[in-house]
Amino acid sequence: MRVALFITCVNDTLFPGTGKAVVSLLRRLGCEVDFPAAQTCCGQMHVNTGYRAEGVRLARHFTEVFAGYDAVVAPSGSCAAMVREQYPKLARPGSKGAAAIAKVAPRVYELSEFLIDVLKVEDVGAYFPHRVTYHPTCHSLRGLRLGDRPARLLRNVRGLELVPLPGAEECCGFGGTFAVKNPAVSAAMGADKTRNIMDTGAEVLCAADNSCLMHIGGTLSRQKTGVRTMHLAEILASTEESQ
């Protein structure tokens, strides 16, 4: 299977280790992984703040860059949801752009979707001997409806103890530009999430979006909790040799 990695802006800029983990994991599972260097932002922040024309341009570019792949895998529920849910609404019905989106968008997957729904694997051969709790980010939970896919993968990681997170379905307060426009509310929501994380006794907080982990991780760090944040891909890519 010929797979393209859609790294996303946040990961490319701030969390390159997550992209490396995705490539390592998929290659371990027998996939041929490409990284199209011409890829850019998916346009989510543009569309969400009213710049529809810019979003249309970026959607057109995305379909050109990722055409021809069997699957496009993103370590981000947020950006995968943008392509699958918002792109079809941007294109004019019956246009060439709409046809291109209809061809590419259904082949865009968040990592856990791809592993379970496409590769049909729940045990990826990972080893991570730590107590972990999982935060289901809003786009993963409400947009893509990932359900228990990430948890099923984590439960099959040798040595990992998965503990439930109280109030797991509550937003962490990041929300992209929401955190900038409403900093006090965002910080209060982050504080609530942090208290719930601390109640689990977990060593590591895991999620499928580094943007949310960045927000929560900032609060965890400022409070000197000692809890690490790790993307799902990094845990699934871990082996005994890497510990």
pLDDT (tens digit per residue) in 54-66: 999 999 999 999 9
pLDDT at 121 (0 to 100): 98
In 9-141, DSSP assigns E strands to: 32-34, 71-74, 108-110, 131-134
* Whole-number Å distance between alpha carbons of 216 and 205: 9
What would the two tokens of residue 210 be? 């580094």
- Residue 103, C-beta contacts closer than 8 angstroms, at least 6 positions apart: 63, 67
What would the two tokens of residue 50 be? 């009213």
* Whole-number Å distance between alpha carbons of 206 and 49: 28
What would the two tokens of residue 176 be? 């992209």
Per-residue pLDDT of the chain (243 residues; tens, 9 = 90+): 899 999 999 999 999 999 999 999 999 999 999 999 999 999 998 998 889 999 999 999 999 999 999 999 999 999 999 999 999 999 889 999 999 999 999 999 999 999 999 999 999 999 999 999 999 998 888 888 999 999 999 999 999 999 999 999 999 888 777 777 888 998 999 899 999 999 999 999 999 999 999 999 999 999 899 999 999 999 999 998 877
E strand or H helix that includes residue 35: none
pLDDT, tens digit (0-9, with 9 covering 90-100), for 21-59: 999 999 999 999 999 999 999 999 899 888 999 999 999
What would the two tokens of residue 15 be? 């969390």
